[in-house]
A and B are shown apart, each in its own frame.
Chain A
């Protein structure tokens, strides 16, 4: 009643009530805008903190040398028999590389005071001899020839070229000396050492603590891909079938209500619990191997199922009942009504839900830790289906693993792996949006 009294007679004048409403609206808009800005700031910080240290992982320092594969050192028998060649260890190959590097340095006329031979060979990665050995064993005909080769530089030298290591930090570091950095500078001027694109980051297997420069995501990507394959092949059909049954066919009674509540609760169960379940059932009872993508895939399937079921049921519910009535009224059976009319209309929602569930599974770490996916795996898993039982790693677990390592070079690797993971998630989400558009555009 008091508002009635306060109402001005002219429309040109604002009543106090109107002014209050406007103020409330302005405040609400400011809050909304503030929330969005905070979100954007957080996103920017996330991207900066990942991209900053992580982009370096996609480039790697290589030393370019002509290497003479001395037959006297690598194949004393002269038979080129692979079995005999295998007896030469990486130590033998290391010497070959050291010699080639020493010659190249001498030839280039680089002279640095107080630089020992051990320090010169110290700029080479510990992984380099193994790489050379693999190359020679794959092609014994190379022995006796001189081949141009790009070999990995040590992680500290790589860090120097990327700016992570400086003369000041090198002076305090037992793994690298200032003289070695000068050598790297001098070699860089002569084109003997350079930062190149690092394709091996995406293809190489993990490497030990002392060889961050050689560590790659090959096994992890393969393992993650295998698991996604299993999740897609199991969770999508099971989830969609369960949803269709519950939504379209099941009688509405206590039992189905109970099932419904349980599915909703299952979606909220912490993922590590699914890991324990997987450990108990798939490994301890069913006797499946540890660290295998098949177990990871099954665990992630269990975890993704509720998500897919909830999304599918929501999209089935959103299909107008008039469509079902129309089909039933024409004499379609229930199954025909569902598969001819309801499912196509619900498909975009189902696919979006499935892909988002898959993306969630791709980034899941905790359950995989419990089933042993965190193991150090250097062997690539074989081709499916047998390969599904081979030990493998997974992208998020690899990131977790690398963040545990001491060498600062692994920080760069872990950040790089996060970028790869984010890129995969981005691709999947984009696929979800594209599929949605494509299906919706039909009418």
Chain B
């Protein structure tokens, strides 16, 4: 796919899963995201990197309108998912979030059983009512999150009793149980040890066969390992966006080069 911003913007927007044009985010007086244009492909992992406070998490939260829950946040510009403007008055953010799942920085399972954690999404969206179908969804989601073998014998144990890495995989299972099309991950490994991180990364690699994954990460190694495309954010602007390999080996912008070589950040 040749869809960097410099080449063929029009055609790229047609094939992109998420097309963002002229996105601005203000938090009160802070201009957190400035003028971002980006096309995020389907069935690939897109990594967002950049120093702390560069607006990458804010950008991510725009994609499922989680910023709506923050009273001071003001989002302008256009975000289209499958060609549909998510800020259209007819769009219910609740429905949008069923289509765009999210995994947070800190594992945040509900203080309920593992089964209830995973079954919650399908339940509230009315996807399944029957217990047997629900059990099926739970098993499928936990298998996809590579957690099934570890918890299949204790589905009624509290989700909060799992280890950090298991909790995060439970959160991923919970997010994919609603059958989203896009999965947003906000530094999903930042509170995990290297082994748990490796497991999650492996999982992310598998998830890309079904979802468009957008991941915010502080670790450039992680971005290089798991993503196909990478966007570099700096001071609220998206400085560079392109194939991961190219961005890390041959960055076009001097600021990107400074960041990946450790001179800023």
Residues of A whose CB lies within 8 Å of any CB of B are 251-252, 320, 322-333, 336, 340-341, 345, 442-443
Contacts and interface: CB of A to CB of B under 8 A. Distances in A.
Interface centre among A325, A326, A341, A442 (most CB of B within 10 A): A326
Given A322-B106, A340-B120, A443 B94 contact: no
B137 to A, nearest CB: 13
Contact of B66 (A251, A322, A325): A325
B188 interface: no
Interface string B107-133: 011111000000011001100000000
By DSSP majority rule, is chain A's interface helix, strand, loop, or mixed? helix
Nearest to A330: B121
Contacts of A333: 94, 124
A324 B174 CA distance: 15
Nearest to B72: A252
Contacts of B104: 322, 325-326, 329
B121 A331 contact: yes
B106 A332 contact: no
A326 B121 CA distance: 10
B108 A323 contact: yes
Given A329-B102, A332-B94, A341 B110 contact: yes
Contacts of B97: 328-331
B158 interface: yes
A273 to B, nearest CB: 35
Interface residues of B, number: 29
Contacts of A442: 111
A323 B96 CA distance: 19
Interface of B: 64, 66, 69, 71, 94-98, 101-102, 104, 106, 108-112, 120-121, 124-125, 158, 160-161, 171, 174-175, 178
A340 B110 CA distance: 10
Contacts, number: 67
Contacts of A252: 71
Given A329-B104, A331-B178, 10 more contacts: A322-B104, A323-B110, A325-B104, A326-B174, A329-B97, A329-B175, A330-B175, A330-B178, A340-B120, A443-B158
A336 B120 CA distance: 11
B94 A331 contact: yes
Nearest to B120: A330
Contacts of A327: 110, 120
Nearest to B106: A322
A239 to B, nearest CB: 24
Contacts of A329: 64, 66, 97, 101-102, 104, 175
Contact of A336 (B64, B101, B124, B175): B124
Interface centre among A323, A325, A333 (most CB of B within 10 A): A325
Nearest to B109: A326
A330 B119 CA distance: 11
B125 A331 contact: yes
B108 A325 contact: yes
A443 B156 CA distance: 12
B111 A345 contact: yes
Given A331-B125, A331-B178, A333-B94, A326 B111 contact: no
Contacts of A331: 94-98, 121, 124-125, 178
A251 B98 CA distance: 25
Contacts of A443: 111-112, 158, 160-161
B47 to A, nearest CB: 20
Nearest to B102: A329
Given A322-B106, A325-B66, A443-B160, A330 B174 contact: yes
Contacts of B158: 443
A328 B171 contact: no
B108 A328 contact: no
